[in-house]
Amino acid sequence: MGVVTSLGAGKADNWKKLTAGESGIRTVTRFPIDGLKSTMAGTVDFVTVEPSSSTALTERLADISTEEALAQSGIGRKGDFPGPLFLAVAPVEVEWPQRIEVGRAVGKAEFTVNDVLAISGGGKFASYHHRFMFGSVAGHLAEKFGTKGSPISLSTACASGATAIQLGVEAIRRGETDAALVVATDGSVNPEALIRFSLLSALSTQNIPPQGASKPFSKNRDGFVMAEGAGTLVLESYEAAVARGATVLGVVAGCGELTDSFHRTRSSPDGKPIIGCVNKALDDAALTPGQIDHINAHGTATPENDKMEYIGISAVFGERAKEIPVSSNKSMIGHTISAAGAVEAIISLLTLEHQRIPPTINYEVPDPAIPFDVVANVARDARVTAVMSNSFGFGGQNASLILTREPI
């Protein structure tokens, strides 16, 4: 496994800070924040790329987390990974710095789209074509790490990271491969992305202090905080991993997925799709709710999400919903969007390894409508054998994973 978040690069650094309740959220310095409603984010500021673009940063973050994961796994050889790539990545677009550069090349103050087209060809901006193809990050990773076959880039919004894991698990279960490289990455804190989420009223506007903005399950929560990060998992069939003497870090015991056809940004008010998704994951793992002893929540801190997550979980878990320790990593690292499902699965696996649950910070005013046993503000030691990690996203995308330390 490998991970990068606003807290740092690598599992060791992230785990230390997560269990200390540190926040990676800070006021954005990458670009001017004048006039913005939300001015903080979990940016990965210690990694820079030239020429700068969100897609280039997305790619670099994936490189870092993948190098860490491959080094730990000891699988394959350098540049020769023995299996396919499944990549969760944000949709790609030409970005403003590049747009401005092309605009300047027109060479006049007033211009039309035809003037822009007239100077776009001829090779001067050929690198922009490659950079802003949707398949560019996957193409780079496949070449660099030598994954086999056609790499799959996918987006299921905030569930993307979990879906990538699910695709890898399915390929292994079908017997197509013994190993799969699962990467989820997002480096897309740029002005337009921040403004777009802001216009949907999805972001917290509690800008001061920035590290206090993300308040999952609190009564005074008001939205999520955009963030960047990447997570990589080397998935292997259990038999193949044991046979090559690999250290097994955990088991993906079950995956569930169910689409909500209610609304583009809102969950079905009856919670049925979430309930169905969680039940599918439990069925797939052949576990009962009573055997889950920690939930790594989606917990975005939007008023709607956290409420719906409780409604869905309590419908499946009954009274136990109030007793299982629940925590949201997003209180500290923000919402890493396309990467979140994998980053949080990795944190869940670290939780299993260390038998310690990272806290939900900023939990000062509990929401009485969400009577979860929130791991409030400080990490908690606990006996954890099976973790449920949830991802519920825009476009009705719901995915749940169940992770265990040992095979069950």
Residues involved in catalysis: 158, 298, 335
By CB under 8 A, residue 151 contacts other proteins: yes
Spatial distance between the Cα atoms of 125 and 101, rounded to a whole number of angstroms: 10
Range in contact with other proteins (rule: CB under 8 A) among 166-174, 301-309, 353-361, 373-381? 166-174
* DSSP secondary structure letters along 240-260: HHHHTTPPP--EEEEEEEEE-
By CB under 8 A, residue 122 contacts other proteins: yes
302 CB-near residues (< 8 Å, 6+ apart): 202, 221, 223, 224
Cβ count near 303 (within 10 Å) = 16
Out of 44, 57, 61, 142, point to the residue binding other proteins (CB under 8 A): 142
Out of 10, 21, 82, 135, point to the residue binding other proteins (CB under 8 A): 135
Which 22-51 positions form the footprint of other proteins (CB under 8 A)? 32-37
CB 319, min distance to other proteins, A = 29
Q: What share of the chain is helix, strand, coil (3-state, %, to 5)?
A: 40, 20, 40
Q: Provide the residue type at 196 as one letter.
A: R
CB 330, min distance to other proteins, A = 20
Residue 151, SS3 per DSSP: coil
CB 49, min distance to other proteins, A = 19
Residue 227 carries which DSSP code? B
Range in contact with other proteins (rule: CB under 8 A) among 5-13, 52-60, 306-314, 394-402? 394-402
Total number of residues binding other proteins (CB under 8 A)? 80
Range in contact with other proteins (rule: CB under 8 A) among 64-72, 109-117, 218-226, 384-392? 109-117
CB of 92 or CB of 347, closer to other proteins: 92
By CB under 8 A, residue 134 contacts other proteins: yes
Out of 206, 232, 397, 400, point to the residue binding other proteins (CB under 8 A): 397
Residue 174 carries which DSSP code? T
Angle at CA 132, nearest 5°, toward 94 and 6? Answer: 85
CB of 166 or CB of 327, closer to other proteins: 166
The token pair at 295 is: 């939930």
The 254-293 contact track toward other proteins, x by CB under 8 A, reads ---xxxxxxxxx-------x--------------------
b (16+ CB within 10 A) / e for 3-41: bbbbbbbbbeebbebbbebbbbbbebeeeebeebebbbb
Spatial distance between the Cα atoms of 198 and 188, rounded to a whole number of angstroms: 14
By CB under 8 A, residue 152 contacts other proteins: yes
The 337-376 contact track toward other proteins, x by CB under 8 A, reads ----------------------------------------
Which 195-214 positions form the footprint of other proteins (CB under 8 A)? 195-200
Which 79-108 positions form the footprint of other proteins (CB under 8 A)? 89, 91-94, 96, 99-100, 102-104
Spatial distance between the Cα atoms of 358 and 25, rounded to a whole number of angstroms: 16
Residue that is written with structure tokens 């993906």 in the block? 252
Out of 51, 71, 78, 176, point to the residue binding other proteins (CB under 8 A): 176
